[in-house]
Structure 1
Amino acid sequence: MKDVADFLTQAVRSGQRIVILCHRNADPDAVASAVVLAEVMSSLGAQVKAATADDLAAISEVVLNSFNRKVEVNPELDFDLAIFVDTSSFGHLGEFGKKLRDSGIAFAVIDHHRPVEEMRQLAKFYYVREDITSESELIYRILVEMGLKLTPEQATLLLVGVISDTGHFRFASPETFTVVEGLLKAGADYNRALELLKPPDDLSRRVAMLKAAGRSELQRINGRLIVFSDLGSFEGDAAGMLVRIGADVAFVGSEEKGEFRVSGRASPEFLKETGIHLGEMMEELGKQFNGSGGGHAGAASVSGKGSFEEVKKQIVKMLQRRLFKAG
């Protein structure tokens, strides 16, 4: 932790123009981490702004608007250093990632997903803690190491990120609650954070969940319930819903113009009993299908070139190997 604190301190003193950058379709954990880190570095004198690739998740826009914060989408490549947060590879930045990589601009990675060796080799600085359950927790712990204090609004933003990325603490570790205690002492408003993360009473989302359930395809592999479904939006939400109603692991995908994207979710019991890591599976799939993938053990995604049917077949083969090996 001291190494990353020292790196950020040096970055502030360097006078470089810095962008704190998070992945496309940025979720609350990503935007909270980017905004708070950018604000804190700015208060120390850095030329820094928060940004994201391509777009924001709808709920992230709600969160940012509530705090009167903004992140820039696809910023101009006129900065000296990009610091990736909640982002493990260029692939998670979409087309913007390709431009950034080709630009040769220096970048650093401060992340909590499965490590990507290629990024470790290319990055100016690389710090990944997969054992930490949200990026917001990681940012908080780094700022504590730097001896910095948060405002109540910054603490609430990070608390929103923690609650969101841990599935309302379903995937929390004991250390998560130590971080939450620190955020509350810094003035975080727990009730406000919960209110912001309430699922919207959105007819389109409700319809999507019902469609995903109606289209679901159940397979049994070594006694485990594996569910697939297809949907054009809310894939991650739908996969989580299928796990909540009984699947051990669920994959919801979409396909358009020869390209696919798939979100996977797994129950904590499934992960504990099998040792399977969805992020590892998605990373492997991304390489097979000329795309990118990764994530956490229980929540991950992949996109690439090909059909959803082809990807499903590969997922089944991968699960068969892993489940029969796990016993």
Structure 2
Amino acid sequence: MISGTSSPSPWARAPQAECPEPTRSPNRRGRGQMVSEEVLIMSNVLDELWSGRTLVLSHRNADIDAMGCSIALAAMFPNVTIGAVESVSRGAQNLLKSFDGHYQVTVDPQVDHEGSPYDRIVFVDTATPSQVEPYDKYLSSSIVVDHHILNSALADVNTRYHCEPASPSCAQIIHRLAVEVGAEVNSDAALAMVAGIMADTERFRIAPNSALLDTLTILEEGGLELADVVQAIERPVYDRSRVIAMLKAARRSEHFEIGNFILARTRVGAFEASAARNLVNTGADVGIVASEDGDTTSLTGRASRRAVDAGFHLGEFFQRLSKMTGGDGGGHAGAAGFKATLPVDELEQTYLELAMEVLKGLDPR
């Protein structure tokens, strides 16, 4: 049994009394969706959530997909506590505000092995151990649901590790697995999961047909319109600190022409994902942002559709960099992260040399 005494996050709100208790519906497999043997095996594990108490834990600076998965599990299953490592992103905070205080988020819950209020931990949207430090020691003994590159080392030691790299979002996996064990998709769960799909497909701009079909299914099950979700995740917020960080990132940026592609990079101390996205939005094929925290250097990357269509995979790129440097990295083709105990100058030189090797061998379609 895993223990945890927790401190509420600054935006934690008490659940409202009128929020319905999750109930189990008859098994709903056979509604026209193909369910693989891997999903069926995982469904038996997710069935655990009907009894006992569950801590759902999302990665550092939890994004909308991670928080959407967490909220959906709390909406569909009983006795679920939502946790996050270190912080919750601005987008995820906007999503939380849409539920009028129904769901609390515990940042950095205290977890140990004695006197636990939890019977299990479920990690969602977790690509690498470094994303959930210091909770990474529980990965091998917990349920893990992810959609990034398969972590073969974790798969070897954890029979409850479920990874679908082809899934555009983690929310789609949570939906399939939950419905398979009889969970009812209410409006809260539907809003949270569709928000996750929209966020990880860049508002459907890079969405395959499967993401659109799953979105329509979830909206119908939850009795929502797509406009309800758009309103929830696109609340206009002026953040002066973010504006200043973006301006600093732009001033410090530099670019390199590598074959038929442009790699742009910069350094910034906050809002790294937004800075990397801005580099790509201004025309770079690959944008990489470095940040330092003591002896640790982190990289946040984004890749354009042009680069991805040509065969570039940022998650695999960071995995190769991990083997070269002893760091930890991975993610999607178009969005990924990396962390290593190396000086930033040394790491930037190493990944630039690797990028020259990888990008020069690709031709845009």
**TM-score computed with the length of structure 1 as normaliser:** 0.89
Deviation per residue, 1:264-295 (Å, 9 max, x gap): 0011111111x121111223334544442111
Is contact 1:140-1:158 (8 Å) kept?
yes
CA distance in 2, matches of 1:112, 1:19: 20
* Corresponding pairs, count: 316
Counterpart code for 2:65: D
2:274 matches 1:242: no
Structure with the higher helix share, 1 or 2: 1
| Aligned-CA RMSD value | 2.0
**Deviation, structure 1 residue 23:** 0.7
Q: Secondary structure at the match of 1:188?
A: coil
Is contact 1:156-1:187 (8 Å) kept?
no
CA distance in 2, matches of 1:17, 1:289: 40
Q: Structure 1, unaligned stretches of length 5 or more?
A: none
Identify which of 217, 223, 231 aligns with 2:260.
223
Is contact 1:74-1:96 (8 Å) kept?
no
1:201 corresponds in structure 2 to 238
Instruction: Trace 1:1-327 onto structure 2 (pairs within 5 A).
Output: 1-9=39-47, 11-12=48-49, 15-42=51-78, 47-67=79-99, 68=101, 69-77=103-111, 78=116, 79-98=118-137, 100=138, 106-185=141-220, 186-198=222-234, 200-273=237-310, 275-326=311-362
Q: Secondary structure at the match of 2:356?
A: helix
CA distance in 2, matches of 1:215, 1:279: 24
Q: Which moved more, 1:108-117 or 1:195-204?
A: 195-204
Counterpart code for 2:253: S
Q: Secondary structure at the match of 1:55?
A: coil
Counterpart code for 2:303: A
Is contact 2:53-2:120 (8 Å) kept?
yes
Q: Which has the higher contact order (CA 8 A, sep 6+)?
A: 2
CA distance in 1, matches of 2:322, 2:233: 30
Q: Which moved more, 1:258-267 or 1:283-292?
A: 283-292
2:9 corresponds in structure 1 to none
Deviation per residue, 1:81-124 (Å, 9 max, x gap): 222110123221022334x46xxx72122110111111112223
CA distance in 1, matches of 2:219, 2:71: 19
* Identical-pair percentage: 30
Is contact 2:75-2:186 (8 Å) kept?
no
CA distance in 2, matches of 1:300, 1:165: 12
CA distance in 2, matches of 1:184, 1:39: 15
Q: Structure 2, unaligned stretches of length 5 or more?
A: 1-38
Deviation per residue, 1:57-100 (Å, 9 max, x gap): 122122213212122222232334222110123221022334x4
CA distance in 2, matches of 1:297, 1:291: 19
**Deviation, structure 1 residue 16:** 4.8
Q: Which moved more, 1:54-63 or 1:107-116?
A: 54-63
**TM-score computed with the length of structure 2 as normaliser:** 0.81
CA distance in 1, matches of 2:208, 2:199: 14
